[in-house]
Every structure is written in structure tokens, then in C-alpha cells.
Chain A
Amino acid sequence: MSLLEIKNLHVKVGEREILKGIDLSVDAGEVHSIMGPNGSGKSTLAQVLARRENYHVTQGLILYDGKDLLEMKPEDAACEGVFMAFQYPVEIPGITNAYFLRSALNAIRKYRGLNEMDAMDFLPLLREKARLLEMDEKLMNRSVNESFSGGEKKRNEILQMAVLEPRLAVLDETDSGLDIDALRVVARGVNAMRDPERAMIVVTHYQRLLNHIVPDRVHVLVEGRIARSGGPDLALELEEKGYSSMEAAARTATPV
């Protein structure tokens, strides 16, 4: 069985149906990319996977590791190994990055019946991961995301992923707002996390991220449905032709 199975997923936000029947399976060890124009439902899918409330699932199901993901609260999903790198990471004034990360790691370890890690054990781990992402150690003692640059915030998301070692990682437009150098660093971090036990879903608007993180599968989301799926070449094709041809096709297609 796949690590993630999404079947006929319909999602409403308020009265508007955003996702109109998504079917997707992702195996452990794979990297899938979800692409699509603005408003196609990419971020909604990411948020639903991370169990954000106020997204109303009207039909369908999501099995994660054989369990009903839609029954889980965000913190339970997190403790079960679902991680989302946020498009807009929030600031937590007065709480250091290091303290926050250790609290998160310990919440997850506790859930799994493991011993909590003290600061002495945690620090070397954090240092090692920070080095991978070329993050200044000073950022560890600064408040979470407070007065971080856009690039630092995104790298911080990947750092968190590296520390928490999820089984399913969803990267929501991690490339937005990154210059090319930051993009490379982030991609290197993500690639280092590729693992036969781990699945990743990379949500992006642009193909350029996929030059650095080469996906196993690419899915194009248009108007709440997967319009096409394919290999990495599909991303290149999109770069050339744009989304408009697929949008036209989606409009004439019969709903699933």
C-alpha cells in the first residue's frame, strides 16, 4: 500500500468547492510535484494534508500509512509524521528558534513513547542540520522567524523538516520569494532528505524549483482536478506551453 492514498477528495472553503475530486497515491521514497496556476487548489490540498481546520471535506478520503488522516488533529498528524513547510511561516516573538524546535521534537517524541531530549543532546543535532542548510547559528537563538529575511524563513522551514524527520513532507510553494542562491541551498537540503522511507510533495507554481529537486511524478492541478500526470518532462512541457492549454481542456472535461 502507498504511504499516502487520496481518493475522490472534494473540499469546500465556505460555500466554494475548491477541490473537485482528487485521486493521488504517493509511495514512500517518492517525490511528487503538484503544479498548477493560481487558484487551482494546490495550497488547499497542502493545507488539508496538514489538517488545517476550516477546510471542509465533503467527499472522499485520505489514508496516510493506512490510517484515516481526516480524523486527525493537526498535532496528531504532525506526531504521526506529516510535516508541512509553510508558504508564509509565522513569527513567534520571544521564543527562540532552538527552544521552539526542541519543544516540537519533544512533543513528537513523547507521542511516540520516546524520551524527551534535553538541551545538551539537542544542540549538536541542531548544529549539524543547520550546517547542511548553511544557516547562521545566531538564527537559532533569535525568536522564531522574527526579522528573518524571506530566504531565511524558508530555510528555517527546511531546517525544521530536517530536525523533525517526517515520513510525509509537504512543501507549499517553498520556492516563492527565493533568489537563485537560496533556492539552491533549499533544494540541497530537500535532496539530502530524500529517503526510501520518506515521501515528499512539492507544491509549486514554477518549474524552476524542479530543476533542483527532480520529482518522480508531476501532477498538474487545474480548477480543482488533476488535469494531467506524468514524469519530470511534464514540468518542462508546462514551462514551454503554460497552463492555458490545460485550463481549456479541463473546462471541457467531464467531472470525475
Chain B
Amino acid sequence: MSANTKAILELAAREYKWGFVTKIDEERVPPGLSEDVIRLISGKKGEPEFMLEWRLKAYRYWASLEKAQAEPKWANIKYPPIDYQGIVYYSAPQNKASLKSLDELDPEILRTYEKLGIPLEEQKRLAGVAVDAVFDSVSVATTFKEKLAELGVIFCSFSEAAAKHPELVKKYLGTVVPYTDNFFASLNAAVFTDGSFVYVPKGVRCPMELSTYFRINAAETGQFERTLIIADEGSSVSYLEGCTAPIRDQNQLHAAVVELIALDSAQIKYSTVQNWYPGDKDGKGGIYNFVTKRGKCAGRNSKISWTQVETGSAITWKYPSCILQGENSVGEFYSVALTNNYQQADTGTKMIHIGPGTRSTIVSKGISAGHGQNTYRGQVKILKGAVGARNYTQCDSLLIGDECGAHTFPYIEVKNATARMEHEASTSKIGDDQLFYLRQRGLKTEDAVSMIVNGFCKRVFRELPMEFAVEAQKLLGISLEGSVG
């Protein structure tokens, strides 16, 4: 074994440091899914009638899909069948009810977020970031609400939005990701328990980063949250989500839905640092991250930009996409996906060009180490009316060691001859030559690997809000547990 390999194996022995469990009393429904469970969830949340009806329609649709065994099988991932009746669909910290202030929150939960580096007490917050904290199935705290409300920005849990702003929820829910969209999106529509809601009114530039921090704590539960962000005409907002989960032997299902809507000249920037528990070094446990994220550039000159750094989860299946409907609207997707040990990722984007003059940019950086399998799957579709549409795609893979894999599946469909498409792809390997060069200059092997990987991801990190770019870089260093062959 070369010293390089040895040093990297030592690095691999590092543990997932977010894997602790918080001991709190939780309220949960029995495992399994039925119309009764859905009524129960909706009842517990005190939802308006239209929500329950929507959920039930979604549930019936999903049940028909399940019966037809229509769980999607096309992705380049492998996992044993999921027992949907063995999952607990609702789990909440016991004392939830309705909190008037953070003081009423279970101190254990406050401590959990502190341990995760997300202090919820507002005076200690990073300047300029408002946080919505989702613990298991419910939103436990949203900070800076009043300050945002002064500008008319609504930032609250989904439950609260359904109760206080039903007209907005009713108008936009399911308009980008309908409950019939796909198997996991249907499941989410039926059972989602909370999530974040954002509405930015006309002409308002949201003055701070909005952020949701998702934490799965309870065992045997699924997490199904739903995020809905609406940027009204001429407004702009930047939103970030982060996620972690405890170390557990069983796989846990996370099936979220995110819908973004940008009206005329509005801009939404959505950044994700996903660090769900990836499973251990032998591939045991970890989160199944089956997520549907989609944004609609409904208005002219609108823009939606997705940036994701995916280092966690046993399996990642997600394709944050843009529907470019408005004239001259812009869609962007910047992604770093890292798979290590036995992690699998099948991720990418869809850019659907409908309106004239629409433009999209895709930059995907996949890093595979250990036995990790990393797939980029991207679709660029230029419809007939998209006169002068443009797409630029860059898709790079970096291999560490010789037992991992990188796969690329670009789908390009052009129905308008005036469109311009560019596609660039590369695959490279961290070689002994590169490592030796850096070590000969005094850098330790793990620092050398980190440096090479960070350089590889730079184009994407540049898109992250400053504070989080630093976090993402650190995370990548910690998550890198490869072996150099």
C-alpha cells in the first residue's frame, strides 16, 4: 500500500460528525400510509379543507402508481425495494403546539441546532441570514420574521402559510410540480408535513439570505417537506437550505418537493448544501434523497438559479430544473456532487426552453471516490417557440481511486433551428503526479487532495453566498474519503 493510499484511508476513518441523536419526546403516527393517516396529518396541522382534498387526490394517484409498480427505475442507482407501509409519516417534537417565542422551544432542540452550528437565537445569528428550522416533520423556529414582515416578505413554515395565507398557497401550490408529476412527488403531496414558504412582494429585494435547515432526528421516519417560493414582479430573493441526519443503520427516505415561481423580472437564487447521513464505509444506512425541485420562470426577464453542493445521502436522485416560459428568462444550474464509499448519485437538471430568447447555463462537477457512483443526467429541451434560445452545458467528472464510477447522460432535444447549444464534458483523475507535486511542496496528502478537489469545484463555489462557500469547501474536505490507486 502506498503512503498516499494509506493517508487517504486514514482520512476515510473520520466519522460523520453530525450523526448524533437528540433525545426528546416525539409524537408520531403509527407506520404505514392510508387515507386515515393523511386525514390525521392534515387534522394535526389544522389545515384548511382545500389542502386535505389536494392531499387525498395525491394519495389516490400515488396509490395507483404504487399498485402499478410505477416507482421510477430509469435512474442509474440500485437499492432494495422500499417498504412504504413500514415508514412513519409523521413525527414531531412533543411540545410543539404553537410556540410564541423561541423560549418555549424544547432546549434540547435549541442545543441540537447549536451543535450543528445553526444557533437560532437571533442576536447570535450570522448577520443577514434568516433561518427556518425544520426538525423531523415540523418547522420549529423561524427567525427574523418580524423584520422581514416590515417589507412585506412572508417567510414562515408551510403550515403557517396554509393557515394565514391560504389564497397564496392555493394559487401556487402544485403549479410547478403537480401531484401527478412523479412517484415521489405524488407521495410528498399526499404526506408532506411541513417546509418553508416564501413570498416576496412586487419590487422588493429581500435584504437578507433566507435559509432553511432540515434535520431528521427520529428513527424509522421519512421526511417529506415542501418548499414554495414565489418572487413577485421585479423582486429578488436568495435562499439556502442545509440538511443533516443522525447515523442510523436503516435507510431513511427523504422525499421533498421544492417549487419556485419567478414572475416578470424577478430573480430567485436557490442554494443547497446537502449533507444527509451518507451511510457507513460499507454502505450500511444513510438517507435516500429522492427530491423533486423545479422552478418556473413564468415572467419575462425572470431568472432562476440553482446551486447545489451534494455530499451526503446514500442515494441522491434529484434534478433541480427550470421551466423557461417567460420571454428572455434565464435558468442556471451549478452543481457539485460527491460520492464516496458506496454512495450513489444520479443528479442533474432539466432546462425546458419555451419562451423566445431564453438562456440556460449548466455547470456540473461530479467527484467520485471509494466505490461511489456518480451520474450526471441532464435534459435540455428547446421547444418550437423558443426562438434564439441558448444553452451552455459543462459537465466535468473527477475520479479519485480506481473503484468508483462517473457516468454522463445528456439529453438534448431541439425543435427550433435558431437555437444555439454548447456541450463540453471532461473526465479526469487525481493522479499520483499531481499529489506528489503538491506534497513535494510541503502539503500533506489530505490537504493536497482537498486543494485539487476545491480547484475542480471553484466555478460552482463562486455561485454560493460567501458564508456558505467557506462551509462547502470545509464539508468537501471532510466528506472526501477516497482511495488513490
Contacts and interface: CB of A to CB of B under 8 A. Distances in A.
Interface string B2-16: 111000000000000
A52 B433 CA distance: 10
A38 interface: no
Given A104-B442, A107-B443, A74 B454 contact: no
B23 interface: no
Contacts of B2: 53-54
Contacts of A78: 439-442
Contacts of B444: 75, 107
Contacts of A174: none
Contact of B4 (A53, A88, A94, A105): A53
Interface stretch (B274-282, B387-395, B456-464): B456-464
Interface string B422-449: 0000000001111011111111110100
Contacts of B4: 53
Contacts, number: 79
B455 A92 contact: yes
Contacts of B3: 53, 73
A31 interface: no
B439 A75 contact: yes
A122 interface: no
Interface residues of A, number: 31
Contacts of A143: 455
A164 B441 contact: yes
Interface in A90-108: 90, 92-95, 100, 103-105, 107-108
B441 to A, nearest CB: 4
Given A94-B456, A94-B459, A164-B442, A103 B451 contact: yes
A160 interface: yes
Interface string B84-125: 000000000000000000000000000000000000000000
17 contacts: A50-B436, A52-B436, A53-B3, A74-B436, A74-B439, A77-B440, A86-B440, A90-B437, A92-B438, A92-B455, A93-B456, A94-B455, A95-B454, A95-B455, A100-B441, A107-B444, A107-B447
Interface of A: 50-54, 73-75, 77-79, 83-84, 86, 88-90, 92-95, 100, 103-105, 107-108, 111, 143, 160, 164
Given A53-B436, A73-B3, A75-B445, 17 more contacts: A50-B436, A50-B440, A53-B432, A74-B439, A74-B440, A75-B439, A75-B443, A78-B441, A83-B440, A90-B434, A92-B434, A92-B452, A93-B455, A95-B458, A104-B442, A104-B443, A107-B443
